[in-house]
Structure 1
Amino acid sequence: MTLEEIVKFVDEHPSSKLKLAVTDIDGILRGKYISSDKFKGLSDLELSFCDVVFGWDMHDAVYDQVSTTNLDTGYPDAPIKLDLKTFRTIPWEDDVPFLLGDFYDDKGEPSPICPRQLLKKVIDQCDSLGFKPFCAQEFEWFNFEETPSTFADKNYRDPKVLTPGMFGYSILRSTLKKDYISDLFSLLKAFDIPLEGLHTETGPGVYEAAITYSDALEAADRATLFKTAVKEIAYKHGIMATFMAKWDENLPGCSGHVHQSLWDKAGKVNLFYEEESSDKMSPLMKNYLAGQLHCLPHILPLLAPTINSYKRLVEGAWAPTTLTWAVDNRTVAVRILPTGKKSTRIETRVVGSDTNPYLAIAACLASGLYGIRHQLPLEQPKTLGNGYKDKSNGTLPSNLYEANQQMKNSPIAQELFGNKFVEHFCATRDWEWQQFAQHVTDWELKRYFEII
C-alpha cells in the first residue's frame, strides 16, 4: 500500500488509532498506540520514542554499564521512522493497523545499536556484492495451560503443560487442541506471517512452526512478529507460550534455526547451487560456509543470547555443541541442504528460539559474507555420523560469560558489526550474566542447604 492509502485506511478505521512497535536489544517488541490524527500529522513518517528501550533489560531494570543511553544522558527521545513495507492489520485485535519502526540518531543516520538497522546494514553489504539474501526462521516453543497471573501465583514453578507426553509429529495432539492450532495457522496468515508447516515436536505441549521464506528483512520482521503474535493468540485460548531455549533440563530445548541462501540481485538464480559440482555446492556457498564456521565462536551471543541459551547447547539434545558441518545431519552446527536449484540452502542450527531474529539473521549473513570477502576455502571436512563426537575443529563456548568475552574482544565481531554495536550489545550480555551470578538458585539450595 502507498502512504496515501495507508493514511486513508488508518483515518477511516473505526478504532481511530494505529499500533506501532520497535524492538529492543533482546528482540522484544516495545510499542504504543497513536491516534489517527497524530499519524496523519507525521512528517516523513518520523516520530519520537524514548531511547530507554536500549537502556534497560527485558524486565525494565536499568543497565549500569551502557554508554549509549544512561542516567547521565537522561534517557531522551530518539527519532524513529515507520517502515511502510511492514504495514499489516492485527486480526485478533479488530484489525487495528500496525507498523514497525527503525531508530535513527540525532543526525538522521541509522542508529548503530538498533537491531533492525544492523540487519539492513548487512543486507546492504549483500547488495554491494551483487547478492540478494533469502532467509526463513523456524521456531519451537512450549505451551502451558496457564496465564501470567496463575504462573506468578505458582512462583513460576510447575506450569501445567498443554498436552502430556513425548509425541512428535502427532496428529492426535494437534487435533486435541485444534481451535488453538487452527487460530495459529489462519490468524498468522492474516497477519502476513504465512507458515509452511506447523506440527507437534517431541515433548509435552511443544510445537514447531516453519515460516515461509522471503527476503532477509521480511524474514526477520516475520520472525520477530511471530513470537509476539503466538503469545497473543495463545492468550485468547488461556494458554501461555514460551520461547525459552530450555525450560526443563529433562526435555529437549527450543530451536530457532535460520535457513539462508544468496541469490542474484533479481532473485532468480540461487547462487549456492551448482549443477556441475558433485556435491551441488557452488564455490560461493563453500566460502560462505567456511566464513560461518570461522566466525561462529566470535558471534555466539547473537545466536545464544541468554543464560538459559547454553542449557540447550548440550550433547544429545538436538542442539549442536561442536564446530561442525554436514549434509542433512541434525547433530552438527551447520546443516547443508543441497536439494535443488530452488531449495539449496544452509541451516544454522546453533540458533535458539530465544534469539532476537534481527540479530540472529544478521549474524548468519555477516559471517557468511566474511567468508566470501576473505575468500576462505572450505578446508574443514564434513562430519560423517555423530556431530557431538567430532571435536576436531573445536567446541562452542559453554556459557554466556565465556561466549561474550570472546565476542567482546574479537576483531572479527568488530569488523562484522561495528565498534558501537559490539560495545553496547556485549555490555548488555555482561549485565545479564551479573544478574544471574548474584542470585541463589533452587539447585544450590537443594545441593548445599543441609549438607554443607
Structure 2
Amino acid sequence: MEDLLANLPQNPTLTELRAFISESDLEFATIAFADYQGTIRGKYVSRAKLESALEAMSFPAISLVLDPTDAILAVPVLADSSSGYPDRPVRLVPETARFIPWAEPRRNLLILAEFAEDFADYCPRNMFHRMQRHAERLGFRPCASSELEFTMFDETPQSIIAKGYHNLQPSTPNRTYYSLVRQETQSSLYNQLMDMCAALRIPVDSLHEEMGEGFMELAIRYGTDASVPDATALFRTFAKVVAQRNGKLATFMARWSNNADGQSGHIHASLQTLAGEPVFHDPSRPDGMSETMRHFIGGMQALLGDFLLLLAPNINSYKRLVPGIFAPISTAWGIENRTCAIRAIPGSPGSSRIECRLPGADANPYLSLAGVITAGLHGVEHRIEPSAPCEGNAYEMEILESQRLPASFDAAITRFRGSEMARHYFGDAFVEAYADSRRTQYEQFQAMVTDRELERFFELV
C-alpha cells in the first residue's frame, strides 16, 4: 500500500486520479456515497468500470432514501413505484480518493460520489455545496469541525438480535470521563481507530472516553470545505467496521437507552473572509465577540427551529432532546454555557467560534453542517441581533416562545416542510423529498408496538 500511497497525491485532481489508475495495478475500487441518513453506501467496481465511471455513472435514486436496514422511505421521484425505481447520474469526486487500510492492495481504493445534474437538487452533499456558495456570495468562507459521540459494546450483530436488544454489555462499566485507565486498557482499539483515520485521511483532533458506560468521543479537525462532512461520515461508517473486526459493536444512535445520556454530533463553526482572515473576534468589545459573531448567533436562534429536522433526523433523535442529559431544549445561547443550544466560545482571533449542541450523532453531517452554518449566515446577512445570553442553567429557565424548538419528530417535519427559509436556502425539491422521507419513517413507527407498551398494558389491561 505504501507504493500506492506514494503515487496518489492527496486531494487528487481528475487528471491526477486518471494517471494514478493508469500507472497502478489496481483491480477493483469502491465507489460510495452518503444517503439521507448519512450512511455511506457503495460497491466494488472493476478497473474498467472505474475508468468509465470517471466519465459517467449512476446509482439507483431509491438508495438515497433507504433507512439503515433498508426500510423504504416513500418519496416521490426518488422512491415511488410509478417511476420504476430508475438509476440517476452521479459524479465521482476525485479529491476524495483514499485507501481502505485493511483491503487488499489492488482493491483498496475508495472514491466518494455525489448525485449530479438535475438530481443534485436531492443530494445531501450538494446541500453542503449550496451553503458554501451562499457563504462565498456574502464574502465568507465557513470554517467548521464536528464531534461525534458513540458507544462501544462487547456484542455482535447476532448477539444483539438474540438478546432482543436488551441487557447489552457496554465495553466499559461506569461513567469514566477522560479516564486514562480505560483509554490505556483499550489502547489496542484506540490505536486501530487512529490508524484507520490516518489511512482514510480523517483528520483527528481528539479521541477520548466520554461520560457513560462504553461512551467515547472523536473530534474532527477544523476545515473549510466538504472534507469535514466527508470525514465525519466516513468515521461513522469505518468506526463500526473497526469495532466489528474486533468482535464489538459501535452505535451512533441519538439515545440508545433510557439509562444513558444522548449521543451528540456537536458542530463548531466560525467564518473567515475569502482571504482567510477570521471575523468572529473583536478585541475592542468586553466579551471579545465581533458584530459578525453576534449576528451569526442571532441567525441560528432565528432558524434552527425551522432546520431542526436536519439536526435531529430520526424518531429516536427526540429522545435525546430532553432536560438534564447535556442536550439543549431551546435555542438559548450563552458564553461557555453547555446547557444551551448555542455555546459561544470567545477567544483569540483564530479560536473564537460557536458550538451548536443541537445535532445528534445520528445526523447526516452534510445536512447538519449546512443547516447550522446557513442559519448563521442568514443572521449575518440580515444583521439579526441575538437575545441576551443565558447565564446559569438553561434547563431551569422559562423558554421564550421565539426560542422554542419543535417538541416532536412530527412537529419538526411539519415545520421544516412549511419553512420559507428552508425552501429558500435548500430548494423546494430537497425540502419536499427530505420531509417526505422523514414523514414515512414517522408513520412506520406510529404503527409499531413497543416494549414499553407491552410492559405497561399487556397483563392488566
Distance 1:344 1:55 in 2: 37
3-state DSSP of counterpart to 2:193: helix
3-state DSSP of counterpart to 1:298: coil
* Cα drift, residue 8 of structure 1: 4.1
* Counterpart in the other structure of 1:57: 67
3-state DSSP of counterpart to 2:94: strand
Relative distance call for 1:212 and 1:111 in structure 2 (3 A) is same
* Counterpart in the other structure of 2:247: 238
Q: Which amino acid aligns with 1:72?
A: S
Q: How does 1:258-277 map to 2 (within 5 A)?
A: 258-267=267-276, 269-277=277-285
Identity %: 35
Match of 2:457 among 439, 448, 451: 448
* Counterpart in the other structure of 2:113: 101
Distance 2:409 2:118 in 1: 31
Residues 259-307 of structure 1, C-alpha deviation per residue, up to 9 Å, x if partnerless? 111101122x111111212211111111111011111111111101111
Distance 1:402 1:207 in 2: 31
* Counterpart in the other structure of 2:4: none
Does the CA-based 8 Å contact 1:183-1:233 persist in structure 2? yes
Does the CA-based 8 Å contact 1:322-1:390 persist in structure 2? no
Does the CA-based 8 Å contact 2:342-2:354 persist in structure 1? yes
Q: Which amino acid aligns with 1:103?
A: F
Q: Which amino acid aligns with 2:39?
A: I
Q: TM-score, normalised by structure 1?
A: 0.95
Does the CA-based 8 Å contact 2:36-2:65 persist in structure 1? no
Residues 32-78 of structure 1, C-alpha deviation per residue, up to 9 Å, x if partnerless? 1111122223453x311111113433322333353444211111111
Does the CA-based 8 Å contact 2:61-2:78 persist in structure 1? no
Does the CA-based 8 Å contact 1:324-1:390 persist in structure 2? no
Does the CA-based 8 Å contact 1:110-1:117 persist in structure 2? no
* Cα drift, residue 20 of structure 1: 1.1
Distance 1:64 1:4 in 2: 39
* Cα drift, residue 450 of structure 1: 1.5
Tell me whether 22-31 or 93-102 shows the greater mean CA deviation.
93-102
Residues 9-42 of structure 1, C-alpha deviation per residue, up to 9 Å, x if partnerless? 3455555111111111111111111111222234
Q: How does 1:100-249 map to 2 (within 5 A)?
A: 100-104=112-116, 108-109=117-118, 111-249=120-258
3-state DSSP of counterpart to 2:170: coil
Distance 1:309 1:55 in 2: 18
Relative distance call for 1:315 and 1:66 in structure 2 (3 A) is same
Distance 2:301 2:104 in 1: 46
Distance 1:349 1:256 in 2: 7
Distance 2:382 2:413 in 1: 24
3-state DSSP of counterpart to 1:227: helix
Distance 1:265 1:110 in 2: 29
Does the CA-based 8 Å contact 1:18-1:33 persist in structure 2? yes
* Counterpart in the other structure of 1:307: 315
Tell me whether 147-156 or 233-242 shows the greater mean CA deviation.
147-156
Q: Which amino acid aligns with 1:21?
A: A
Match of 1:377 among 363, 371, 385: 385
Q: Which amino acid aligns with 2:45?
A: I
* Counterpart in the other structure of 1:81: 91
Give aligned pairs, total.
446
The yes-or-no answer on 1:9 pairing with 2:20 is: yes
3-state DSSP of counterpart to 2:339: coil
* Counterpart in the other structure of 1:390: 397
Q: Which amino acid aligns with 1:32?
A: K
3-state DSSP of counterpart to 2:306: helix
Distance 2:397 2:177 in 1: 27
Q: Which amino acid aligns with 2:111?
A: L
Does the CA-based 8 Å contact 1:66-1:428 persist in structure 2? no
Match of 1:26 among 37, 56, 61: 37
* Cα drift, residue 127 of structure 1: 0.8
Distance 1:266 1:34 in 2: 40
The yes-or-no answer on 1:419 pairing with 2:431 is: no
Match of 2:264 among 245, 255, 260: 255
Distance 2:57 2:349 in 1: 44
Aligned-residue CA RMSD (Å): 1.6
Distance 1:5 1:235 in 2: 34
Relative distance call for 1:392 and 1:399 in structure 2 (3 A) is closer
Which ranges of structure 1 fall in alignment gaps of 5 or more residues? none
Tell me whether 65-74 or 427-436 shows the greater mean CA deviation.
65-74
Q: TM-score, normalised by structure 2?
A: 0.93
Tell me whether 277-286 or 354-363 shows the greater mean CA deviation.
277-286
Distance 1:416 1:181 in 2: 39
Does the CA-based 8 Å contact 1:322-1:391 persist in structure 2? no
* Counterpart in the other structure of 1:284: 292
Distance 1:200 1:102 in 2: 34
Tell me whether 62-71 or 310-319 shows the greater mean CA deviation.
62-71
Relative distance call for 1:218 and 1:335 in structure 2 (3 A) is same
* Cα drift, residue 198 of structure 1: 0.8
Q: Which amino acid aligns with 2:285?
A: S
Does the CA-based 8 Å contact 1:254-1:312 persist in structure 2? yes
* Cα drift, residue 110 of structure 1: 5.6
Distance 2:71 2:118 in 1: 28
3-state DSSP of counterpart to 1:451: coil
Give the structure with the larger helix fraction: 2
Does the CA-based 8 Å contact 2:73-2:441 persist in structure 1? no
Relative distance call for 1:41 and 1:56 in structure 2 (3 A) is closer
Does the CA-based 8 Å contact 1:7-1:39 persist in structure 2? no
Distance 2:432 2:178 in 1: 42
3-state DSSP of counterpart to 2:429: helix
Does the CA-based 8 Å contact 1:11-1:37 persist in structure 2? no
* Cα drift, residue 239 of structure 1: 1.1
Q: Which amino acid aligns with 1:76?
A: P
The yes-or-no answer on 1:355 pairing with 2:366 is: no
Does the CA-based 8 Å contact 2:65-2:75 persist in structure 1? no
